[in-house]
Structure 1
Amino acid sequence: TPVGTSVYNILMGTEAGDSAVAGYSPPGLVGTKACKADTCCVWWYIAQAMTLAFTGPTGRCNGFARAAIRLGFHDAGSWSSSLAAAGQDFGGADGSIILSGTEINRADNNGLQAIANQALLWSKVFGVGVADIIQFAAVHAVVTCPLGPRTRVFVGRKDSKQAAPEGLMPSVTMSADQIISLFEDKTIQPHDLAALLGAHSTSQQFVTDKTKAGFGQDSTPGVWDVAFYNETLQPGTNSKVFKFQSDLVTANDSRVSDEWQSFIGDQSHWNGDFASAYVRLSMLGVNNINNLTECTKVLPAEKKTF
């Protein structure tokens, strides 16, 4: 299908993973016949709710937005190509982090309970799938952050209550070899891994070191900027910045370091690479790509100033 072709092209690097296409106006109120006739209509209304939920008082993205980005990573990332080839093709972007009733309680997912509850509520209120609401929320949260890209978003995934296999999420104690191998097993190569790790630009840690709860991984956690790439490499640290050991070792690995360095001071390069890499991540475990619908047009515009 045309959508399947677009996703394929994004994965192959011949089509952009972000888009400025906007200007959508819903054909009717949510729940009306006119709105139901347009798959993307309800998502426009969802986007309005998310903009309110994810925007802080200063116009930056808030803690709820940061959690939404992490939730998107954790639902989609729980998939393995080697397990799928061995007959365990489940997990991935299927909503199971919420719907299984058990995944959300894993140690990997500490701190995601509140956003998971909100995502489930949105799915019920608006009558959409949980897998889709999780990925839409992650993409929306990124563009809610000042300077964040407008990643292309697709809906129509199949929900699953089957818990994803355990042990598929990265840990802050992993070596670079372990992290790179883990992501390669998800079809994510070091180039894309370097881009995806930049999401730590807006993250805060609460679990790794509880004495430094709330510390960001760079000095501007409310902004989707490239400060993370430079600050991670600098000796010492800002008193309010907490560096994950896994970020340090991965950034300095020869398979990642060139791309990591290339993002320093180059916002547009990182944004484009992140968007393409995130589309790939958001399709892990999704086996009905040809039946999806692109609804990027309902997302808010990028915040290029703040």
Structure 2
Amino acid sequence: MKASTALLLVGWAATRAFCYPGLSRAMAELQGLEGGQSSLGKRSTEVIGDLASMPDDALTPSGTAIKEILAGGSANADSTTYTPPGDFLSATCQRILLCVWHWVVVELRAAFRDDAGCTALARGAIRQGFHDAATWDRDSAYGGADGSLLLNDEELARQDNMGLAEIAAQTRAWHAKFAPYGVGMADLIQTAALVATVSCPGGPRIRAFVGRRDDARPGPAGRLPLPFQDAPELLALFAAKTFTPGDLVALLGAHSASAQRFVDPARAGTPQDSTPARWDTRYYGETLAGDNSTILIFHSDSSIAAYAETRARFRQFAAVGGQILWNPAYAQAYFRMSMLGVTNLNNLTEITWVLPLAQ
């Protein structure tokens, strides 16, 4: 990377990090966590949204399922599938939520999988889902998984959303086609992220719910992680979103299916592990190995890999058999991500059965 580019991005990152609302409080929370091996497998069990204050006897079946997952249950879906009663153009299909979403997912899947594995659009959809949802934290009056990333031009144009133009344009086209049949932007973004994940060979099938409220207001700025941040800042950033250090390590594994373009423009297209079309744990091992010649290792990733609070978990995922640990950990953490800022969780509807099966 040219020195001038590096200095510009580092300065931008530092400014964003230290202007981050709630940083001091989140850092204090992290200092209260148990260190070392005792916190290795810890995941967040904090219930969020409307479910946090709702008694169990007021929960719908969806609300019950979502609360159970957030509180510690598995987010992995079984192999149950859905058979539509007809094609998308049939009047019968258009009256049935699952049928409409079945045909949405058929289009997504066609764009997200090819003979090599998951496509560049799939990788973009995974990142897009994160960038829409992660504008929320406990200090936010709004934001989160609300579709705002694509419902206004201001948010999409932010520097931390560079590289999303292609998947954003395609998602907006899908939305224009399916919105008349009840498909919202927030749901489309998150469903696309889940379809993209399971379209990657090895990727988990994560339970899916729809019914989020769209909000066109630009999400709060300064809530997304930056590739030049150090581990303590990143842990504080994610703690404010209700994630544990272990959750963050699991979420970083999505870089397994990533090819950067703007962190180092001179190496645009360089992946973050050697198998970007597959969902595997090579990212963890190759980040630890530190060979930056064939892949591009973000400073933020190497910092998390080496930090006392996260390095053991990082190495667990890198070790033989790490995929068995990582897939459910990622599913749980991303499920939480997809619900950030959603205030009507009890009224969502499950559509898991329309998702492709894991490969």
Taking structure 2 as the reference length, the TM-score comes to 0.80
Q: What are the residue-to-residue correspondences of 1:252-267 with 2, within 5 Å?
A: 252-264=306-318, 265=320, 266-267=322-323
- 1:78 matched residue in structure 2: 135
CA offsets, 1:145-201, max 9 Å, x none?
Answer: 000000111111000111111111111111111100001111111111110000000
How far off its partner does 1:101 sit?
2.0
CA contact (8 A) 2:148 2:215 kept: yes
2:264 to 192, 201, 209: 209
Which amino acid in the other structure matches residue 316 of structure 2? S
- CA offset at residue 250 of structure 1? 0.9
Q: Aligned equivalents of 1:70 and 1:181: distance in 2?
A: 20
* Corresponding position: 1:92 with 2:144: yes
Following superposition, the deviation at residue 44 of structure 1 comes to: 0.7
Mapped contact 2:81–2:355 kept (Cα < 8 A):
no
- Aligned residues of 1:97 and 1:103 also touching (Cα < 8 A): yes
Match of 2:335 among 252, 274, 279: 279
Match of 1:120 in 2: 172
Amino acid at match of 1:207: F
CA distance in 2 between partners of 1:292 and 1:32 (Å) = 25
C-alpha separation in 2, matches of 1:268 and 1:36: 39
Q: Distance in 1 between matches of 2:282 and 2:198?
A: 17
CA distance in 2, matches of 1:168, 1:200: 19
Measure, in 2, the Cα distance between the counterparts of 1:269 and 1:243. Answer: 22
| Amino acid corresponding to residue 333 of structure 2 in structure 1 | A
From 167, 171, 187, give the equivalent of 2:226: 171
Question: Is residue 2:65 matched to residue 1:6?
Answer: yes
- The 10-residue stretch of structure 1 (120-129 or 167-176) with the greater mean CA deviation from structure 2: 120-129
Q: Output the CA distance in 1 between the equivalents of 2:99 and 2:184.
A: 14
Question: What is the alpha-carbon distance in structure 1 between the residues aligned to residue 82 and residue 283 of structure 2?
Answer: 33
Q: Shift in Å at residue 224 of structure 1?
A: 0.3
Name 1:241's counterpart in structure 2.
295
- Match of residue 132, structure 1, among 187, 190, 200: 187
Shift of 1:36: 3.4
Q: Does 1:292 align with 2:358?
A: no
Structure 2: distance between partners of 1:123 and 1:293 = 19
What secondary structure is seen at the aligned counterpart in 2 of 1:216? coil
Instruction: Among all aligned residue pairs of Structure 1 and Structure 2, give the percentage whose two residues are the same amino acid.
Output: 44
User: TM-score scaled to structure 1, two decimals?
Assistant: 0.93
Q: Which moved more, 1:66-75 or 1:259-268?
A: 259-268
Quote the residue 1:53 is aligned against: 111
Greater CA drift, 38-47 or 60-69: 38-47
Tell me, in whole angstroms, the C-alpha distance in 2 between the residues paired with 1:126 and 1:133. 9
CA deviations on 1:205-243 (whole Å, 9 max, x unpaired) are 110111111111111111000011111111434x32000
Query: Which residue pairs with 1:143 in the alignment?
Result: 198
Tell me how far apart the structure 2 counterparts of residues 76 and 136 of structure 1 sit (CA, whole Å): 12
Deviations 1:62-95 (A, max 9, x none): 11100000000000001111x23xxxx2110000
Higher alpha-carbon deviation: 30-39 or 261-270: 30-39
* Structure whose residues are more often helix by fraction: 2
The 2-side partners of 1:92 and 1:202 are apart by 23
Task: Name structure 1 gaps, 5 residues minimum.
Answer: none
- Residues in 2 aligned to 1:231 and 1:255: alpha-carbon distance in whole angstroms: 20
CA shift, 1:133, in A, is 0.5
Partner of 2:245: 190
CA shift for structure 1 position 26: 0.8
Per-residue CA shift, 1:268-293, capped at 9, x if unaligned? 21110101100100000100001111
Q: CA deviation at 1:31?
A: 4.5
Q: Which residue of 2 aligns with 1:67?
A: 124
Question: For the pair shown, which has the larger CA radius of gyration, 1 or 2?
Answer: 2
CA RMSD of superposed structures (Å): 1.2
Counterpart contact for 1:69–1:141, Cα < 8 Å? yes
Partner Cα separation in structure 2 for residue 288 and residue 41 of structure 1: 23
Question: d(CA) in 1 for partners of 2:162 and 2:133?
Answer: 16
Matched AA of 2:63: G
Classify the secondary structure of the residue corresponding to 2:153: coil
C-alpha distance in structure 2 between counterparts of 1:97 and 1:12, whole Å: 28
For 1:29-40, list aligned pairs within 5 A: 29-40=87-98
Question: Counterparts of 1:18-37 in structure 2 under 5 Å?
Answer: 18-37=76-95
SS of the aligned residue for 1:205 comes to coil
Question: Is residue 290–residue 297 contact of structure 2 (8 Å, CA) maintained in 1?
Answer: no
